[in-house]
Structure 1
Amino acid sequence: MRAGASDDADVIVVGAGPAGSSAAHWCASAGLDVLLLEKAGFPRDKVCGDGLTPRAVAELARMGVPTDAADGWIRNQGLRVVAGGRTWELPWPDVTAYPGYGMARSRMTLDHRLAQHAQRSGAKLLERTKVTGPLLDDRTGRVVGVTAQPLDGRGRPDGAPTTYRAPVVVAADGVSSRFATSLGIERRDDRPMGTAVRTYFRTDGKAADGTPSATGPTSRHEDAWMESHLELWSGAPGQSDLLPGYGWIFALGDGTVNVGLGSVSSTPARQSAVGHDYKALMRTWIENTPAEWGFTPDNQVGPIRGAALPMGFNRTPMYRDGALLVGDAAGMVSPFNGEGIAYALQAGRVAADAITQARTRTTDDARERALGTYADRMRAELGGYYTLGRAFVRLIEHPTIMRVGTRYALPVPVVMRLVVKLLSDCYEPRGGDWVDRVIAAMTRVVPAA
């Protein structure tokens, strides 16, 4: 994978979301020439809960991303869990590996900041550049670059198609990952698939158009807790089925809150068979929230938008013939909680390490082995956890188990401690208390995903 004289970069990264910007940052920091290609123009939106767990905050700290409150970052203390008619406020677990707080920031600005950080590290960012496919070596079939189409501000072709060459390509182009698909790397049918929908509401006393709100301020935008509603009903509360998922309210500190819900199925086929209208469910849930929260049409900012959540390494192999898949392109969303940002940032870092190590090897075989360590490391670090997550999804698909769990198991302090550490993925992999040791042991004994 040594760069040749005709190459445009040492590494091409397709997609400037968290995974792509992380990979670009770490590769550029190691002295590599990095070309980061993004089909949209910043700032651009992404359907997400906008919440950052302590695990994600730790990755931002490693990258050196500034997260000052004066710059629009808001910290949170932990999870407020609402279930069975009761509410618990659960601080983030106190572990040495991660900070004791989470954060939140709209993806509209988060992704832009991360891409700018990669630029400051030395990566070259090309916006409105749509990658249309891989460039393959005629003799070996190895990926040696990409073909791309410049776009105008409306997403239409703007100029002649372009070819960019590099000895290695990082695919960070999201859940559909057309780049991976064009290489014949399809999504797996034995992995969970989630669906999330979300919108925003102003809670600072202003309506969406900036005029005073009829409901007045509620200050939910400054909430110190990430709120999760574990009872997600398919219809009227208490008179319909409990769905495997949860609703959320995440404060963004800028006058708005991110309000959404997510549901998960053990396989894509089961998700299709269920066939819920999640936007309708979202509207029903919002209508049943307390009036004092101000979740009214006048205060709503933007429509309800939805997206798929690819979970548990649902696209493999993660490395093949010069192409590494990171983030949603490899299905790295957690089956436990729908979190994807932390793992996207982690994958970018691990991928960059494999790439920089490969460049020090002196033979093609040695370079291939070094690049292959990326997939091995990701499976070793997350495979067991994702396997437990798949089992968790199969359990909560049963309404009876959901009902019994939320009403009788969650109130037990020991169970609650276990649940919050599992759902947040904040546990000590070595040492810690007995809950940490139990989780760590379970992730080691199950087969890696």
Structure 2
Amino acid sequence: MRAGSHDDADVIVVGAGPAGSSTAHWCASAGLDVLLLEKSAFPRDKICGDGLTPRAVAELARMGVALDPDDGWIRNEGLRVLAGRRSWELPWPEVTAFPGYGSAMARATLDHRLAQHAQRSGAKLVERTKVTGPLLDERSGRTVGVVAQSADRREVVYRAPVVVAADGVSSRFATALGITRRDDRPMGTAYRTYFRSEGTSRHADAWMESHLELWSGEPGRSDLLPGYGWIFALGDGTVNVGLGSVSSTPARQSAVGHDYRALLQQWTRNTPEDWGFTPENQVGPIRGAALPMGFNRTPMYRDGTILVGDAAGMVSPFNGEGIAYALQAGRVAADAIAQARTRTTDAAREAVLGGYAERMRADLGGYYTLGRAFVRLIEHPAIMRFGTRYALPVPVVMQFVVKLLSDCYEPRGGDWVDRLISALTRVVPAA
């Protein structure tokens, strides 16, 4: 994988979302020549709940991203969970690996800042450049670059010994290589919009709010809607309001057939008046996207191509969180790429690059396997109702749930809850 005289970079990164920008930052910081290709122009929007867990905040801090509240980084204290006419405020767990707070920022802003951060680290960002497919070596079939369409619609070719596919849930790059999505992994669906919140009870809320039961009107006296809802204050005068669902397989997801855009409109129409979730306060349309979960595209490395973030299906089945794992994958991928450059044989370089997938599975595979089991359970409404009405109010269950769902636990040591979760992730087969 050593860059040759005909290469345009040491590594090409396809897509400048959190996974791509993280990869580009860490590769450039290691002294590699990085080409970061983005099909759109910044700022551009992405469908997301915009919430950042303490795990995500820790990754941003590792990258050296300034998290100054005066610069738009709102801090939140934990999760407010609502179900069965009750609510609980669950602080983020205090663990040594992560800070005791989360954050939130609109993806249009977050992605732009991370791409700029990668640029400051030394990566070359090229916007409005759509990668149309891989460039393959005619003899070996190995990926040796990309074919792309420039802003003026010319076909251009960029060469590099390693290409990182960070092009999202559809990952046309991976699909072109025959790396398709797995049908035995959970798939989520999320729809969201924004509301202006100045002067409302939702402005600058210190808690990320999750509604486990969605009612079409008054709780207990109206229809129970499918899915779960969220309300995340962004600290800029707006809130992200969304609705999502998850199924154990893509086939079950397709069979559900709900109009989630209409369901979100129905839910927000019946929220309290002082929340301000009215058409007059809505900012932008309702937009939706799929959430690829639990490593739903494998292998994560093959013949010069590394998959990171949504392209590899790295969204958590427990909570729909993907940003933290995208940032982590970029860091681990960059380390493998930098280390591979120091090896003197093709076989040794391939072994190091393949180690990226092994490291990701070792860290997240057991957790994602537990997540698949969790999704299969909550697909049954009776189990979900029992859990929210009878199990969740028990303090010890609540402590276990918040650590498990937020992925904020001590992997070594900690209290008995940490040790139990760690043991469970080790004994189950890695995803």
TM-score exceeds 0.5? yes
Tell me the CA shift for residue 159 of structure 1.
Answer: 3.7
Q: Which runs of 5+ in 2 are unaligned?
A: none
Distance in 2 (alpha carbons) for counterparts of 1:233 and 1:410? 19
Correspondence 1:334 to 2:316: yes
Correspondence 1:166 to 2:124: no
Correspondence 1:303 to 2:285: yes
Aligned length: 430
Q: Among the aligned pairs, what percent are the same residue? A: 84
Q: Deviations over 1:404-430 (max 9, x none)?
A: 111111100011011101110000001
Distance in 2 (alpha carbons) for counterparts of 1:242 and 1:321? 46
In structure 1, the residue matched to 2:255 is 273
Distance in 1 (alpha carbons) for counterparts of 2:41 and 2:94? 39
Correspondence 1:231 to 2:213: yes
Q: SS state of the match for residue 222, structure 1? A: coil
Tell me the CA shift for residue 219 of structure 1.
Answer: 4.5
Q: SS state of the match for residue 422, structure 1? A: helix
Q: Deviations over 1:426-449 (max 9, x none)?
A: 000010011101100000000000
Q: Which runs of 5+ in 1 are unaligned?
A: 152-157, 205-216
List aligned pairs for 1:38-53, cutoff 5 A.
Answer: 38-53=38-53
Higher alpha-carbon deviation: 320-329 or 282-291:
282-291
Correspondence 1:189 to 2:171: no
Distance in 2 (alpha carbons) for counterparts of 1:20 and 1:335? 22
Q: Deviations over 1:137-159 (max 9, x none)?
A: 001000000000013xxxxxx24
Letter matched to residue 432 of structure 1: G
In structure 2, the residue matched to 1:212 is none
List aligned pairs for 1:56-95, cutoff 5 A.
Answer: 56-95=56-95
Aligned 8 A contact 2:194 2:239 in 1: yes
In structure 2, the residue matched to 1:263 is 245
Distance in 1 (alpha carbons) for counterparts of 2:41 and 2:102? 28
In structure 2, the residue matched to 1:130 is 130
Distance in 1 (alpha carbons) for counterparts of 2:422 and 2:223? 36
In structure 2, the residue matched to 1:27 is 27
Q: Deviations over 1:9-55 (max 9, x none)?
A: 00000000000000000000000000000000000000100000000
List aligned pairs for 1:238-387, cutoff 5 A.
Answer: 238=220, 240=223, 243=226, 245-387=227-369
Aligned 8 A contact 1:235 1:281 in 2: no
Distance in 2 (alpha carbons) for counterparts of 1:346 and 1:300? 33
Q: 1:233 to 1:313 in 2, by over 3 A?
A: farther
Q: 1:128 to 1:114 in 2, by over 3 A?
A: same
Q: SS state of the match for residue 305, structure 1? A: strand
Q: SS state of the match for residue 318, structure 2? A: coil
Aligned 8 A contact 2:216 2:267 in 1: no
Letter matched to residue 178 of structure 1: R
Please, what TM-score do these two structures have when normalized by structure 2? 0.98
Tell me the CA shift for residue 255 of structure 1.
Answer: 0.5
Tell me the CA shift for residue 93 of structure 1.
Answer: 0.2
Q: SS state of the match for residue 335, structure 1? A: coil
Aligned 8 A contact 1:241 1:399 in 2: no
Q: SS state of the match for residue 324, structure 1? A: strand
Letter matched to residue 44 of structure 1: R
Q: SS state of the match for residue 147, structure 1? A: strand
Q: SS state of the match for residue 390, structure 2? A: helix
4+ runs deviating over 6 angstroms? none
Superposed CA RMSD in Å reads 1.1
Residue 425 (structure 1) aligned to one of 389, 402, 407: 407
Distance in 2 (alpha carbons) for counterparts of 1:190 and 1:351? 25
Aligned 8 A contact 1:192 1:264 in 2: yes
Tell me the CA shift for residue 70 of structure 1.
Answer: 1.3
Tell me the CA shift for residue 240 of structure 1.
Answer: 4.4
Aligned 8 A contact 1:242 1:403 in 2: no
